[in-house]
Amino acid sequence: MNISIDVKEKDLLAEVSVQGEIDAYTAPKLRSTIFPLSEKDGVQMVVDLSGVNYMDSTGLGVFVGVFKNVKANNGQFKIVGLTERLQRLFEITGLADIIDINSQIEGGVQ
């Protein structure tokens, strides 16, 4: 169960690239890394999950919490690089209707 999280910040843009598995063991590390970014007023956060090969409900919970915090701080939140499996996970849970997700990596927040 490994996870690698790379964060690049420039002004209010926070680009996060995640690789590995997001589960009950790795989700706390993910949350502690990206949650502080979501507290910045007006942050534009883009999370690239193209390197994630597995995610469970714990991971979804992290993204819901971060999404809510970004919105509460007048920011924008986007998830890109979803595999078909992860895309389906977001769709089944209804999160695809709430969170801006895109299977293609476009870069930047729209």
**The two structure tokens encoding residue 9:** 């910040």
Give the range of the structural domain holding residue 17, as residue numbers without chain letter: 3-102
Q: What's the CATH number where 33 sits? A: 3.30.750.24
Which range is least confidently modeled, 13-22, 33-42, 64-73, 101-110?
101-110
pLDDT, mean of residues 34-55: 96
Can you name the residues that pair with 76 across neighbouring β-strands?
44
Q: Is 42 part of a structural domain of the chain?
A: yes
In a domain, 46, yes or no: yes
Kindly state whether residue 110 falls inside one of the protein's structural domains: no
**CA 77 – CA 16 distance, rounded (Å):** 11
Per the domain annotation, does 108 fall within a domain? no
Residue 34 lies in a domain: yes
pLDDT on residue 110? 42
CA dist., res. 4 & res. 27, Å (int): 11
Select from 38, 1, 7 the least CA-distant residue to 23.
Answer: 1
Residue 26 lies in a domain: yes
Q: List pLDDT tens digits, range 66-102.
A: 999 999 999 999 999 999 999 999 999 999 999 999 8
Does residue 95 form part of some domain? yes
Res 104 pLDDT > 80:
no
User: What pLDDT, in 10s, does the model give residues 8-29?
Assistant: 999 999 999 999 999 999 999 9
Q: What is the pLDDT of residue 102?
A: 82
Number of domains in the chain: 1
Whole-model pTM: value is 0.90
CA distances 105 to 2, 6, 27, 34, 94, Å, are: 23, 16, 22, 19, 21
**Residue 96 domain flag:** yes
